[in-house]
Amino acid sequence: MPLLINLRHLENKVVQLGGELSAEDLDLDVHDELVHVKRPLRYNLEAEKMETGVLVRGELRIVLDCECARCLKPFPFPLELDEWVCHLPLEGDEKVPIISDCVDLTPFVREDILLEFPQHPLCRPECGGLQTKPGGKRIDSDSSGAGQTNNESSAWAELNKLKL
């Protein structure tokens, strides 16, 4: 069910909106393999009718299921918009569609949530990436070959061998 604001309820007062919007109803078109939306969006909003529009402000919270871009470990990513504000024009060229005295707030919430998605999700800032040796030590891939044992070679060293 979409997040609707009934304009008749806004005639004389400020309306409080609180609850959850399921991941299916939020209908985020995510094309990122590292970010998954499975949990509901929680919202606590206040809607107020202005002269030519509706002002909505409040909090949006959702927990995204992400995979670390370095080590591919799954981790939760709390996305919080504590001071979310949206102006819905009711007149003019950019007016929002009104259906049965209701305005659908879902597309505006969806857009702002998508804009806040992590571009390069990391489980922690100091994540070192995938472990390549069973002993738990990472192989450094610097071009100088420093820190490598004699029987190891980096990807850069292998590329340097190519005669192009």
Is the per-residue pLDDT at 63 higher than 80? Answer: yes
pLDDT at 148 over 90: no
Tokens of 77: 């990513």
Does the predicted TM-score (pTM) go above 0.75? Answer: no
Share of the chain above pLDDT 70, in %: 86
Task: Dump pLDDT digits (tens) for 85-142.
Answer: 999 998 889 889 989 989 999 999 999 999 999 989 999 988 888 776 665 555 444 4
Question: Up-side HSE of residue 94: CA atoms within 13 Å toward CB?
Answer: 6
